[in-house]
Homo-oligomer: A and B are copies of this chain.
Amino acid sequence: MLEIVSGADLIARAAVDAGVNFFAGYPITPASSIYAAMLKNLQAEGKVALGVSDEISALSMCVGASMRGAKSMTASAAPGISLMVETISYALVTETPVLITVAQRLGPSTGAATQNAEGDLAFLSNMIAGGYPIPIIAINSAKSAYDLTIKAINTSELLRCPVILLSEKDLIMSSYSFETDALVPKQIINRTLYGTDPSNPNRDGVFKTYNFAELHEVPEFVAAGSQAEEPRVVITGSMHDKAGNLSKNSNEALELLKHHKSKIVDNLDKYLFYELNGTQDAEIAVISFLATDLAVREALRSMPDAKVKHLTLQTLFPIPENLIRETLKGCKHLIIPEENMSGQYSSAISYITAGTDIKVHRINALGRMIKPEEIKEVINACL
């Protein structure tokens, strides 16, 4: 069926299709469009979608629901995400899957609620004190919203961790004519339940909430508050051993800290989403993401003979360093357009190109979208 849908609609539809059965949020433009769609969609299915008293409560309830076995999700923009920082850290340490959809607008502070921006990258990729990355997956068009929402939820379940689904005002509040029959999940991943994977090596007959053999392995899940015959689940945000018991500074507790990082960094290949287009032996590379990717595509369509390699990144963090290095092989120019003040992703990956022969061209804009013409101009200057 051909329908008029917005990015927010597609995110909400995907969330329900992926099995999300618990949503709690507090409205904020432009994330309110996701909030409204989730309330409508989930409640229509007899599932739980709540508007609650503030963002701290919203994410806390999602985390609690996920611990009980629900697939949960919230949505906000930077001012609200700021309030969630402590709880995101708690979700990471308690190894709780939860999807946090971030709809960017122009900050800092209250800023301009209805003005598009792509300026939350540095903040979102550094929220966890101690220096722990969490997956940040960015939609790059309204059309991509459906697939990437499912992939982000899958990632959250796979790794038992909070995942950021990054979007921006222009992507989720714009509507498109869309053939919605094709919208079916290609794959649904659910957290591995304790006892369901006979080959799982993380277990020696005794259940431990946070058990693993290798640092990067993800513990098997038991829902807190399950039936009496289930093993006891011990959950804490304090330093703990594999059983969940407080342990301030033991080797096992320190191993857990490394595990929180390894689990995410060393499994990156399982959730590294991107598209690589253009001429593979080109000397010019463009890396783009979010709505600005649309401008790049339009620029490149208008110059079909230009030899340009185009990497659309969907998994932005942890930085897919190998993919970027591989992409840049043989390149002399790297162009990175971002709708923020001075190129946050460029800065984040600048260590990759620093000192090499590759010249980096940042294209930035504040309070307005980057136009295809601007990108084209830079490409032309590099040719």
* Chain A residues at the B interface, C-beta cutoff of 8 Å: 43, 46, 48, 50-53, 56-57, 60-61, 64, 68, 78-79, 81-83, 85-86, 89-90, 92-94, 106-112, 114-115, 117, 119-123, 125-132, 236-239, 248-249, 253-254, 257-258, 260-261, 340-342, 344, 347, 350-356, 366-368
Contacts and interface: CB of A to CB of B under 8 A. Distances in A.
Contacts of A115: 239, 248-249
17 contacts: A51-B64, A53-B53, A53-B60, A57-B57, A82-B85, A83-B85, A83-B86, A89-B107, A89-B109, A108-B132, A111-B239, A112-B238, A112-B239, A115-B248, A121-B131, A353-B354, A354-B354
Nearest to A257: B366
A353 B261 CA distance: 25
A130 B114 contact: no
A343 to B, nearest CB: 9
A128 B106 CA distance: 12
Contacts of A366: 254, 257-258
A340 B79 contact: no
Contact of A90 (B52, B81, B110): B110
A248 B74 CA distance: 27
Contact of A340 (B81, B114, B131): B131
A237 B93 CA distance: 32
